[in-house]
Amino acid sequence: HKPSLYGAFGDKKALYLAALDNYLAEVRAEFAEAFALPKLADALHAVTERSIEKYGDGAGCFMMNTAIPVAAEDPEIARIVRETMESLDRALIRRFRKAVEAGELPEAADLETLAMLMAANNHELSAKARAGYSRQELREMSDRALAMVKRLSGTGTA
C-alpha cells in the first residue's frame, strides 16, 4: 500500500535508498565471509560463485542495474556507487595482501591490478547475467578471470 510505504520511508527515493542499502549490506556480508576463507583460490572462487548465484537467472546486480543509470544525475547515488566500488577494491587488495603474507602470492604481486581484474570480472558477471547468459557461461567466464589472476600473480596458486 503506497501511503504506508511512503509513510515508513518518506518518499520513493528514500524507499529505494533503504532497499539499496539492505542489498549492499547483504553483499558485503557474503563477500566478507568468502574473503575469510584461508586459501586465496577458495576465497576468489567463493566470491565469484556468490555473484553468479545472486545475479543468475537474468537478475544482475541490483546496484549496477538501478544505481549506475541514475548516478550521473544524482550526486547522492553517485557517492554510494563510488563508495561501494572503492570498498570492493579495498577488500580485494586486503585479501590479496593476506595472500602475500601467507606466501600464496609473491611480494612483487601487483595487488591493485589483481583487485581491478576481479572487480571488473564481478561487474561483467552482472552485465552478462542481465543480458541472459547462463550460469554455466558465467562460470566459464569467471574461470578464465581466475586463471588470469594466477598468471598475473606469477604463482599458479591463486
* Residue pLDDT tens, the chain, 158 long: 556 655 655 688 988 999 999 999 999 999 999 999 999 999 999 999 999 999 988 889 999 999 999 999 999 999 999 999 999 999 999 999 999 999 999 999 999 999 999 999 999 999 999 999 999 999 999 999 999 988 887 765 55
| Cβ within 8 Å of residue 147, ≥6 positions away | none
**The three three-digit cell numbers of residue 75, written as one number:** 550526486
Ramachandran category for residue 110: left, alpha or beta (phi over 0 → left; psi -120 to 50 → alpha):
beta
Give the burial string for 116-129 (b: 16+ CB within 10 Å, else e).
Answer: ebbbebbbbbbebb
Query: Of 35, 56, 38, whose CA–CA distance to 118 is shortest?
Result: 35
Predicted confidence at residue 56, as pLDDT, reads 81
**The three three-digit cell numbers of residue 36, written as one number:** 575469510
The rounded distance, in Å, linking the Cα atoms of 27 and 12 is 23
The rounded distance, in Å, linking the Cα atoms of 93 and 88 is 9
